[in-house]
Amino acid sequence: MSLPQYITINGTSYAAENLSEAAKMQAVNIQVVDAELARLQQQIAIAQTARNAYVAALIESVKGKGQDAAADKPKKPRAPRKPKAATAEAKPKAKAK
């Protein structure tokens, strides 16, 4: 890895060409570690996404199983409804004698 032209440490910029070999080596080590941290953060994001998908699938399985069990259970037949009472308007009027 190559170093940038300037390196900022605690708010102070240093020209990379003026750093000692030991300082340059430490700066490269920091770059390597930063790249590894970024890679690991991506891996965490992937794993979290997979976990969320598994949780959603589990919830769907539990909900679906409850619905399947209810669907498999035979329903009791309903009693036939009684006919509605006829209203006064619908009743034929009695003939007067």
Per run of 10 residues, the mean pLDDT along the chain (length 97 residues) is 92 96 96 97 98 96 70 71 68 58
pLDDT for the residue numbered 92: 59
pTM above 0.85, yes or no: no
pLDDT for the residue numbered 89: 58
pLDDT for the residue numbered 67: 58
pLDDT for the residue numbered 43: 98
Length of the chain: 97
Q: Where are the alpha helices (DSSP H) in 1-97?
A: 21-72
Instruction: Read off the DSSP letter of residue 8.
Output: E
